[in-house]
Amino acid sequence: MTTHRTELSAADVFARSLDLLLAKDIDGWVDLWAPDGIFEFPFALPGAPHRLVGREAVRAYIADYPDHIDLHGFEDLTVHRTEDPATIVAELRGTGRAVATGRPYDMPYIQVVTVHEGRITHFRDYWNGALAADAFDGEIPVGATRTGEAR
């Protein structure tokens, strides 16, 4: 018996990633990444990482995300396809609450995601760190102690 692997599109992998984040399945989310995937934060605040290299660096960075941000949904989602079928640009808002403060979390994002063989190889996450800090009374707990480039 022969099994055929169905190649997932970048949009499919991205949609799955959102479902996993809402389910607070961080291991499942990280498993979507290629072993050498790159996660970039072009607008990172001082002291926060600007670039993570490798699945395990991504895992270390995101492991305690649900302890800090209780995501309830993603709204205003628009996925733009690019000339490269492996890359999409997504516009969305993540909504929920900051666990420590109980304050609303309402963050607009633009994310550029590249997928190869069903795995995320490059993810650029454009978000407003100052807006996030407001939800946490001035301090962003996710990744805040990890600086520079992680490998």
**What does the domain layout of the chain look like in residue ranges?**
10-145
Higher pLDDT, 7 or 43: 43
- Determine the pLDDT at residue 133: 74
12-44 residue pLDDT tens: 999 999 999 999 999 999 999 999 999 999 998
- Model pTM? 0.86
The matching CATH number, chosen from 3.30.420.40, 3.90.1170.50, 3.40.50.620, 3.10.450.50, for 10-145 is 3.10.450.50
45-66 residue pLDDT tens: 888 899 999 999 999 999 999 9
The label of the residue with tokens 């490269």 reads: 84
Size of the chain in residues = 151
Exposure pattern of 31-59 as b/e (b: 16+ CB <10 Å)? Answer: ebbbeebbbbbeebeeebbbbbebbebbb
Q: Give the neighbor-by-neighbor strand order of the sheet with 51-53.
A: 69-81, 87-98, 104-116, 119-126, 33-40, 51-53, 149-150
How distant, in Å, are the alpha carbons of 43, 63, 82, 97 from that of 124? 10, 18, 15, 23
Beta bridge partner(s), residue 50:
none
Of 86, 139, 141, the C-alpha closest to 112 is 86
If pLDDT is split at 50, 70 and 90, which confidence band does 138 have? low
